[in-house]
């Protein structure tokens, strides 16, 4: 007999109003718990869509912003890690160049009624819970 365990239901956590997250501009940061430890995430808008990632480089697990909440490179086409220059796709978080071999850890987001939410997952929890 097989028992299915219900996964913890995902929760939508309010992040910011849509007007606060501009195309290829400053990210909106948020605190969370990743695999049991406090961490930071960030959300960006790219080609009109909101994307969010754990703020942790895939090369060395360090935060990536070169100035607070600045992740886009000078072309505004890629997310760049300030430490050694790894480049990531803003759409997928996949490594595009530099010393990274894998990608960023993506965080589910949604946008409705002019508000942006990030979604918890079994490995990503809100600090409030």
Residues that bind ligand FES (CB under 6 A): 57, 59-60, 62, 81, 83-86, 98-99
Bridge partners, 30 (sequence order): 41
Give me the least distance between CB of 99 and ligand FES, in Å please: 5
CA distance 43 to 26: 9
> Nearest distance from residue 60's CB to ligand FES, in Å?
4
Of 45 and 59, the one with the shorter C-beta distance to ligand FES is: 59
Nearer to ligand FES, 26 or 65 (CB): 65
**How far apart are alpha carbons 90 and 51 in whole angstroms?**
7
> How far apart, in whole angstroms, are the C-alpha atoms of residue 95 and residue 109?
20
Residue closer to ligand FES by CB (options 84, 123) is 84
DSSP 8-state symbol, 14: E
Task: Report CA 13 to chain centroid distance, whole Å.
Answer: 14
Q: How far is the CB of 122 from ligand FES (least distance, A)?
A: 26
């Amino acid at each position: 007999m097989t028992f299915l365990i219900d996964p913890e239901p995902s929760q939508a956590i309010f992040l910011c109003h849509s007007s606060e997250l501009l195309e290829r501009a400053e990210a909106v940061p948020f605190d969370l718990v990743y695999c049991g430890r406090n961490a930071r995430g960030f959300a960006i808008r790219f080609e009109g869509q909101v994307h969010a990632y754990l703020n942790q480089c895939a090369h060395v697990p360090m935060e990536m912003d070169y100035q607070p909440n600045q992740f886009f490179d000078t072309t505004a086409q890629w997310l760049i890690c300030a430490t050694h220059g790894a480049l990531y796709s803003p759409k997928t978080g996949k490594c595009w160049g530099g010393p990274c071999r894998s990608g960023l850890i993506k965080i589910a987001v949604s946008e409705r009624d002019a508000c942006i939410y990030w979604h918890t997952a079994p490995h990503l929890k809100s600090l409030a819970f």
